[in-house]
Amino acid sequence: MASHLVASLFQEENSPLVMVQFNMFECGGVAIGISIAHRIADAFTIGTFINAWATACRIGSEKVHCRPSFQLGSLFPPKEMPSSSGTAPGTDIKIIRRRFVFDGHTLSNLKAIARGGDSEQLVKHQYPSRVEVVTALIWMALIRVAQARHGHLRPSLLGLTFNMRGKTAMTTPDYSCGNFVNWANAQFMPDDEIKMELHHFVNRVHDAISTTTHDCAKTSNSDDIYSMVSSKAREVGEALGEGNVDTYMFSCWCRFPWYEADFGWGKPSWVSSVDVPTGIVMLMDTKDGDGIEVFLALDESSMLTLQQNLDKTISFTG
């Protein structure tokens, strides 16, 4: 990861909320590194900010259609939320950060595998999304990693970020900036009597997203939304606090217009996060929009086991 291309944000209260680093290379290329404090922004906010900024640079601020709105703070006054942060690994553990690229062809084949169970075990949704398939695949592989480490299957909780914009009964402004995300949570228990096969995990991810979508649609005021989000966050926090439950947090940045940000010299060749914390799995689109890039960090041994599990599954896709 090219972390030196992005300025680091400090944690002190008086640190800048946004920092931009402009990098120029001898070949003539440029890279823009942006750091934004998470307490004021989610992925949608970052994407909106970057695209509005790029459009203003290219054709003028008066022609920016994705104009950021900052009204969420008045619609949803700040409240204390349950913590969902985990414990960082020891400093003596060597952490490996990897990027796994699933192109459109591979994803099509993985979808076919997910639809290939017997008549009673087909995925409930006959056309699973790219995000559902990749999330299920990585989750299943991480469960195998934990099994290899402990010698047996363990309970696990998956938390997938869920953008609530346009999904609640409460109207919010277009391009609302801030943090307006929920968690779509799915569980796995060793005694669930399901096989470790892709379509089972696709079903669980799909059910989690569907349930969260349904829950959001029922919320009509800020108290409803706070109650729903705090309940999901509490579920994640409790799982993180239990030593016998493995918790995997997935941050999905797909379908945001990262590759539309044209400052006047063309659209980006590559957009990525530069530093994914341990315990977080990040999903982003490939440039063509058909594939997904997965970023995650694990200890060296776990990363090797994960790679072996992914290779074993993907080898069946052709």
pLDDT single digits (tens) 24-46: 999 999 999 999 988 889 999 99
Residue with token string 């799909």: 206
Q: What would the two tokens of residue 247 be?
A: 């918790």
pLDDT above 90: residue 168: yes
pLDDT for position 124: 57
pLDDT above 80: residue 54: yes
pLDDT for position 245: 93
pLDDT for position 78: 76
Active site (annotated) includes residue 262: yes
Determine which one of 207, 224, 262, 290 is catalytic. Answer: 262
> Which of the two residues, 231 and 83, has the higher pLDDT score?
231
pLDDT for position 277: 84
pLDDT for position 318: 43
Distance CA 114, CA 133 (A): 8
Determine which one of 4, 38, 150, 214 is catalytic. Answer: 38
Distance CA 306, CA 297 (A): 11
Distance CA 164, CA 236 (A): 18
pLDDT above 70: residue 12: no
pLDDT tens-place string over residues 240-299: 887 889 999 999 999 999 999 999 999 999 999 888 888 899 999 999 999 999 999 999
Mean of the per-residue pLDDT values for the chain?
Answer: 88
Contact yes or no for 136/198 (Cβ under 8 A): yes
| Most confident stretch, 59-63, 72-76, 118-122, 241-245 | 59-63
The DSSP bridge pattern shows strands 156-163 and 246-252 to be: parallel
Active site (annotated) includes residue 38: yes
pLDDT tens-place string over residues 135-166: 999 999 999 999 999 999 999 999 999 999 99
What residue type is 123 in one-letter code?
Answer: V
Average pLDDT, integer, range 82-97 = 66
pLDDT for position 67: 87
Where in the chain are the domains? Answer: 77-317
Q: Does domain 77-317 have CATH number 3.40.640.10?
A: no
3 state DSSP class of 143: helix
- What is the percentage of the chain residues whose pLDDT exceeds 90? 64
pLDDT above 60: residue 57: yes
pLDDT for position 117: 56
The full length of the chain comes to 318
Distance CA 167, CA 177 (A): 15
For residue 36, what are the contacts with CB-CB under 8 A and spacing of at least 6? 9, 17, 18, 45, 46, 49
pLDDT tens-place string over residues 98-127: 999 999 999 999 998 888 754 445 555 568
Q: Lowest-pLDDT range, 181-185, 207-211, 277-281?
A: 277-281
pLDDT above 80: residue 13: no
Q: Helix H segments across the chain?
A: 43-59, 72-75, 104-114, 130-150, 198-217, 222-241, 300-314
pLDDT above 50: residue 317: no
